[in-house]
Amino acid sequence: MSTLERIEHIKESGGWLDRYQHDSTGCRCRMTFSVYLPPQAAQGPVPAVYWLSGLTCTDDNFRTKAGAQRYAAELGLALVIPDTSPRGDGVPDEPERYDLGQGAGFYVNATQAPWSEHYQMYDYVARELPALVEAELPLIPGLKSISGHSMGGHGALICALKHPGAYRSVSAFAPICHPTVCGWGEGCFGAYLGDDREAWKAYDATELVAAGAEPIPLLIEQGTGDEFLPDQLYPQDLQTACNARGFPLTLRMRDDYDHSYHFVASFIGEHLAYHAAALSKG
């Protein structure tokens, strides 16, 4: 019996943009995610790019602002777009803060009360959601890549680094590259994971590379006009760690672009083409 409830079904760029809800076993609440199936899915299974969004976002931000579906239709890619955190009346939150609680799951498995009962976002995006999609949506059989923006860029990087071989490629827009030393990361990690900073390193791309993660090419897009670049994102730290290990990193600094979806929309076509090339290899 299907565990998915489809709540939207919209024709777009020759394919279909669907929205689903399901009861998550890990997050212990009703979760929402979107899927775009390109027109090529009418002939059979297609590879997928999983997209992880940033602080304050839901699945709706990317699918309405990035313009990605048009490129996905041209390239024959499915898009799988989860929410950024558990949600609901029984889910802990900090309503006065945008950077903790609902909308700010940070793609970690929380170990501290009251967050640990619901905030298991790492397992959700890396394990539970792909298993559900592959079981319930046979046109997306499991060949996948991953990308994301800001907090979601952080999530994409750690998913790829912690699961060698699970993704054919990874990319990120303005990712939080070294969360254990930035305000956003310290605030969320301290709440979700406790005071042991050594435990935080398991969810930090810079620390994972430095500790010996298996090499996978990293593609990062970063705007020089990003207001969060100086004190939250730290791509230079990730670059230093990669250089020290000979780890393949392409860091593209884009003059004057900011942190918004105007930046994402400007280069999402290039990123999807990058993933399509990786997914097409035997």
Instruction: List the catalytic residues.
Output: 150, 226, 259
CA atoms of 148 and 55, how far apart (whole Å): 11
Going by C-alpha positions, the residue among 150, 62, 71 that lies closest to residue 105 is: 150
Whether 90 and 32 have beta carbons less than 8 Å apart is answered as no
Sorted by sequence, the CB contacts under 8 Å of residue 133 that are 6+ apart come out as 35, 48, 80, 140
The amino acid occupying position 62 is F
Whether 28 and 228 have beta carbons less than 8 Å apart is answered as no
CA atoms of 77 and 38, how far apart (whole Å): 6
User: What is the CB-side half-sphere exposure of residue 12 using CA atoms within 13 A?
Assistant: 20
CA atoms of 110 and 124, how far apart (whole Å): 12
3-state secondary structure 26-45: CCCEEEEEEEEECHHHHCCC
